[in-house]
């Protein structure tokens, strides 16, 4: 019967994951030899070294873990089990590819769905009798798709679609902003000579946000606007001040929040480590809107 308390620095009796962890613990804690059953905090580990260990683990195994894991699994063999589990079950909070299957089984041609609701996808709520693939703007470890126009974005998506289905006929679908993307994909595929068997658009977005036209009878000069503002301020000072602040700072706050979320998701996409995971916004809608809105505007300009 093997002695699990015997030194394992040479790797004898340990799994590959355990051997890597042994090297990390020995290097960071300055303790030799480290055994499979050693307790991290008993042999000299503390909160600071725990953070360093987790960062090393993430870099070596390409997994996303929190420091809490070391408190829940403080012995090396138990930590190795947690690492192996994380490697076999990737982070479900994010997709790791720009195109990935939601339902691989089924007969007939696959459906490629742009901007699908990943929350529904993760709950296995799809009921479809053909393969279904999600095509997204963002992937963990990669960030947002690099595209300066709707045409570039659609071209990028088509390359990924062709990697799964090289030739038509194609079934393309899209939700919200994905409806615009799906439409552009279908147009490019048709121009390339491919047949579109199905184009399904679910609540597609407007191609751009149209600004309301001013009333021709309304005086729009600066002096006239200033005079109306002064009159409103004199009659309703409090409400006018609050309204002015909302008009000035409301849109700016939305733009800044979208930009910040976008940058945080880009950070996590390029370097999915402990720090970026902590900063990852739970509500990613603002970042996706920030990324997609300019593409929709560019699409409108090019179409005009």
- Lowest mean pLDDT: which of 119-123, 216-220, 240-244, 275-279? 216-220
Query: Does the predicted model carry a pTM greater than 0.75?
Result: no
Residue 246 has pLDDT above 70, yes or no: no
Mean pLDDT for the stretch of residues 102-110: 80
Instruction: State the residue for tokens 């090297």.
Output: 23
Q: How confident is the model at residue 304 (pLDDT cuts 50, 70, 90)?
A: very low
CA distance 279 to 267: 9
- Lowest mean pLDDT: which of 43-57, 95-109, 208-222, 230-244? 208-222
Average pLDDT over the chain, rounded to an integer = 76
Q: How confident is the model at residue 273 (pLDDT cuts 50, 70, 90)?
A: low
Stretch (H or E) spanning 302: helix 285-303
CA distance 240 to 242: 6
- Most confident of the following: 211-215, 265-269, 286-290: 286-290
How large a percentage of the chain has pLDDT more than 90?
Answer: 27
Q: What is the dihedral of CA 198, 204, 207, 208, to 10 degrees?
A: -170
Residue 193 has pLDDT above 90, yes or no: yes
pLDDT per position as a tens digit, 23-78: 999 999 999 999 999 999 999 888 888 888 988 888 788 777 778 888 889 999 99
Domains with residue ranges and CATH for the chain: 16-88 (1.10.1200.10), 99-202 (3.40.50.1820), 222-303 (no CATH)
CA distance 51 to 62: 16
Q: How confident is the model at residue 207 (pLDDT cuts 50, 70, 90)?
A: low
Residue 86 has pLDDT above 60, yes or no: yes
Q: What is each CA distance from 252 to 239, 245, 248, 249, 279, in whole angstroms?
A: 20, 11, 7, 5, 22
Say what the pLDDT of residue 220 is.
Answer: 46
Spatial CA neighbour of 4 closest among 43, 26, 33, 46: 33
Contact residues for 44 (Cβ-Cβ < 8 A; gap 6+)? 29, 30, 31
């Amino acid at each position: 019967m093997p002695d699990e308390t015997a030194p394992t620095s040479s790797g004898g009796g340990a799994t590959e994951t355990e051997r890597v962890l042994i090297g990390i613990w020995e290097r960071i804690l300055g303790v030799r030899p480290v055994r499979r059953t050693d307790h991290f905090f008993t042999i000299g580990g503390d909160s600071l070294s725990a953070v360093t260990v987790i960062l090393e683990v993430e870099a070596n195994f390409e997994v996303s873990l929190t420091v809490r894991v070391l408190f829940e699994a403080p012995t090396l063999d138990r930590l190795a089990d947690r690492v192996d589990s994380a490697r076999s079950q990737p982070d479900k909070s994010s997709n790791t590819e720009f195109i990935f299957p939601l339902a691989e089984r089924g007969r007939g041609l696959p459906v490629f769905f742009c901007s699908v609701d990943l929350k529904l996808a993760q709950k296995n709520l799809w009921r479809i009798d053909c393969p279904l693939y999600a095509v997204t703007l963002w992937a963990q470890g990669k960030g947002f798709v690099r595209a300066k126009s709707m045409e570039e974005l659609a071209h990028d998506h088509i390359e990924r679609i062709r990697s799964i289905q090289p030739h038509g006929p194609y079934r393309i679908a899209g939700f919200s902003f994905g409806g615009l993307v799906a439409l552009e994909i279908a147009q490019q595929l048709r121009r390339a000579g491919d047949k579109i068997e199905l184009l399904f658009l679910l609540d597609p977005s407007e191609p751009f946000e149209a600004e309301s036209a001013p009333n021709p009878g309304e005086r729009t000069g600066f002096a006239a606007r200033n005079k109306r503002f002064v009159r409103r301020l004199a009659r309703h000072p409090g409400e006018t001040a609050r309204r002015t602040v909302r008009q000035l700072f409301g849109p700016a706050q939305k733009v800044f929040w979208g930009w910040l979320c976008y940058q945080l998701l880009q950070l996590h996409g390029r370097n999915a480590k402990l720090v970026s995971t902590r900063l990852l916004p739970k509500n990613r809608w603002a970042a996706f809107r920030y990324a997609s809105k300019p593409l929709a505007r560019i699409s409108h300009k090019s179409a005009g």
